[in-house]
Structure 1
């Protein structure tokens, strides 16, 4: 099944987001047919800030590694790492040549402002022109940045510019989610939130893709602290993969290790 087809199945595509090869490989072992990347995880792992266009090299390097896995890969490219449509087009072509199935491009800039919508439409169009087969998920950060701007005009514009899907992270209200679904004819992506509807209700609202974003990366950091605290306090250590299981993640012909017991 193609990556595009996964957006039109009986259930929304649940997209877990990885930050390195091992985190992606273990998700493939769990049966996920598509893996996204998390820009926060990629940036934090490299000691760089997220959302500021500082991780182009790290993002491409990770994409090159992840396309070794037997799954579809979609890459978070922040705002495209440039406002020049030509440079963004070149990035899209490079990723497509590596075997990447899709990209997520956002209109937030430096975590404080939104790009001009016409300029963002030019970036979306440039990606589609350079790599027609690349699934372009156009994200608007109207809610993420708390701008108060209605996202509907932006998602419509991005869809008209050629986006294959639209994404409005931060939406948790059912009325708002349904309004975005009704506004466009392309698949709508939301970010999973414990404060929002569950997967079943999101399906009923017409959502076609649910991303985990940085949730798994942040959960992994919490697990690191929880485990070392258990060591320090003498408490029971939660189940973890064995050394051999993790080693197997990188073995030729091995996609991922089995899940740990417990």
Structure 2
């Protein structure tokens, strides 16, 4: 099998995971070790977390400041034993051609999918037409790349809700993104089961939901029709929290709880 054939097969496999009987649970890594450890636990597909990448580099998340760090991580992970989807924030530009170039570079190093969000760092939403143009440009440049189009209407407050669904603004945006060629859509912050089920019925592409420890379980989301469940920055934040808890226990003279990989186990991830 040629490299080009292998790449095409990987893209098809990733898309097929969104149509499997069980929803795709996509954990999000922030470096090589976290991705390798997740792959070793049997996850066939892994995403990246923009917050984890940004925080690790000492940069703000969602501010188009991590283009180089994101590409560098994709280069390190693209040939791993898993399918890689990359969080590209808003594409690191408001120029659709520049966003398409980012997509080309990611596909060239082995990424099979990207997340592309319409939220902006100032708390506003990008015009739906602009975001749709970015999606269309990416699909024209790299037709096989799985574009997961994210709308932040719930997180940023623009998605006014009605009694039987996610709200007209959310649906308007998702419809525009589907028409532009999005392969899936993502509505972080949406967690009410009736609204999720109602939204699924209006879509032609798979719905991605951000997992919340206080929201529906993975099986419950699958029963609602959700086809992809992302963990976002949760694993990164939990890892940081575990580090802080551990050092606090040590400083207080208490025994350290929890499980930590051994030195040799971490070395084996390389």
User: TM-score normalised to the size of structure 1?
Assistant: 0.93
- Whole-angstrom CA distance in 2 between matches of 1:239 and 1:110: 36
Contact 1:51–1:78 (Cα < 8 Å) also in 2 = yes
Superposition pairs of residues 94-173 of structure 1, within 5 angstroms: 94-149=105-160, 150=167, 151-173=170-192
Shift of 1:156: 1.1
Q: Extract structure 1 runs of 4+ deviating beyond 3 A.
A: none
**Alignment length, in residue pairs?**
250
Q: CA RMSD in A?
A: 1.1
Query: For 1:1-262, what aligned pairs fall within 5 Å after superposition?
Result: 2-149=13-160, 150=167, 151-237=170-256, 238-250=258-270
Provide the secondary structure at the position in 2 that maps to 1:113.
coil
Deviation at 1:200, TM superposition (A): 1.4
Distance 2:65 2:150 in 1: 19
**Could you say which residue in structure 2 is the equivalent of 1:256?**
none
Residue 185 of structure 1: how far off its partner (Å)? 0.9
1:169 and 1:191 in contact (8 A); partners too:
yes
Post-superposition offset of 1:145: 1.1
SS in 1 for 2:115: strand
Mean alpha-carbon deviation: is it higher for 193-202 or for 53-62? 193-202
Is the contact between residue 150 and residue 187 of structure 2 (CA under 8 Å) also seen in structure 1?
Answer: yes
Find the aligned partners of 1:89 and 1:215 in 2 and give their Cα distance: 28
Where structure 1 has 5 or more consecutive residues not aligned to the other structure, the ranges are 251-262
Q: How far apart are 1:111 and its partner, in Å? A: 4.7
| Partner SS, residue 60 of structure 1 | helix
CA–CA separation in structure 2 for the residues paired with 1:40 and 1:147: 22
CA-to-aligned-CA distance 1:34-55 (integer Å, 9 cap, x gap): 0000000100111111111100
> Conserved in 1, the CA contact under 8 Å of 2:79 and 2:109?
no
Answer yes or no: is the 8 Å Cα contact 1:34–1:73 preserved in 2. yes
Q: Is the 8 A contact 2:147 2:182 kept in 1?
A: yes
Q: TM-score, normalised by structure 2?
A: 0.90
Deviation (angstroms), 1:180: 2.0
